[in-house]
């Protein structure tokens, strides 16, 4: 499921940006993305503003708490609530993190997984269950991490194995690849090259925090840096242009600065337009 109905550069919709986006009709973003958990059941003024934006721009959903990599049973009540939200707002695609985030309760963080064949099989089954409830494909995202658990696969091979076993699509987060490449000492370009072009639905890009030379934290609280822009350009060159979303969760600059980053994404996309859209 390539997102053939989407093009260009999108922006993560956060409540801190809502008033400004409503004010200028979100004209600088080709599409928007929301976390459904932050909006399910929200009515009143905020609900009306979300509805207004979803009527003006294509809307994607990016989940935070499905716990695809966990051992606790999938939260079917949450899945049904997400399906209702997707149906209500005509959401074009739904993605979730390839991580664990719950056990007996919600952990409110994205925890690393063992890169093992056992994990691949378990996660693939959970993806299939989620897709059956949602009645639409599920797109999974590679995540940033700060610890490694025992497993016989490396990260790129693990992601590929889950994609193939679950027969699902990938949200390729370029900043997460960059962060992990420095945190764990691997080649970011080789990681991106190893991803299957035909399964890449769309991309994420964001800023991060430099805790130390060998420890980067994926905060979404700063501008995208030049090495990440270069990696995004490389991803386009290797796989073809995909819709790409800018994430910014806090430290919001004036909207014009975020729109300038979106314009930069479009510039990188246009630079490889001679390639076909999906690298074939």
| Predicted confidence pLDDT, tens digits, the chain (280 residues) | 457 779 999 999 988 888 888 887 667 899 999 999 999 988 888 888 888 888 888 999 999 889 999 898 999 999 999 999 999 988 989 999 998 874 654 545 567 889 999 999 999 999 999 999 999 999 999 998 777 777 899 999 999 999 999 999 999 999 999 999 998 899 999 999 999 999 999 999 988 656 667 666 666 678 899 999 999 999 999 999 999 999 998 788 999 999 999 999 999 999 986 544 454 4
CA distances from 161 to 171, 232, 269 (A): 15, 23, 28
């Amino acid at each position: 499921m390539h997102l053939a109905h989407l093009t260009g550069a999108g922006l993560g919709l956060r409540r801190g940006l809502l008033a400004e986006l409503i004010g200028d009709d979100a004209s600088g973003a080709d599409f928007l993305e929301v976390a459904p958990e932050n909006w399910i059941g929200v009515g009143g003024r905020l609900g009306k503003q979300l509805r207004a934006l979803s009527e003006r721009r294509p809307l994607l959903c990016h989940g935070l708490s499905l716990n695809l990599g966990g051992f606790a049973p999938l939260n079917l009540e949450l899945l049904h609530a997400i399906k209702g939200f997707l149906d209500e707002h005509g959401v074009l695609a739904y993605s979730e993190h390839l991580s664990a985030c719950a056990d007996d309760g919600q952990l409110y963080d994205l925890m690393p997984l063992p890169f093992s064949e056992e994990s691949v099989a378990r996660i693939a089954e959970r993806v299939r269950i989620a897709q059956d409830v949602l009645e639409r494909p599920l797109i999974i995202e590679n995540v940033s991490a700060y610890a490694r658990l025992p497993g016989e696969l490396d990260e790129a091979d693990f992601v590929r194995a889950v994609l193939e076993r679950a027969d699902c699509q990938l949200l390729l987060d370029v900043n997460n690849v960059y962060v992990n490449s420095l945190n764990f000492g691997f080649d970011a370009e080789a990681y991106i090259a190893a991803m299957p072009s035909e399964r890449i639905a769309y991309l994420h890009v964001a800023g991060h925090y430099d805790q130390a030379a060998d420890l980067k934290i994926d905060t979404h609280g700063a501008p995208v840096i030049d090495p990440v822009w270069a990696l995004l350009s490389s991803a386009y060159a290797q796989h073809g242009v995909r819709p790409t979303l800018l994430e910014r969760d806090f430290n919001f600059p004036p909207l014009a600065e975020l729109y300038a980053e979106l314009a930069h994404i479009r510039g990188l996309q246009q630079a490889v337009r001679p390639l076909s859209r999906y690298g074939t």
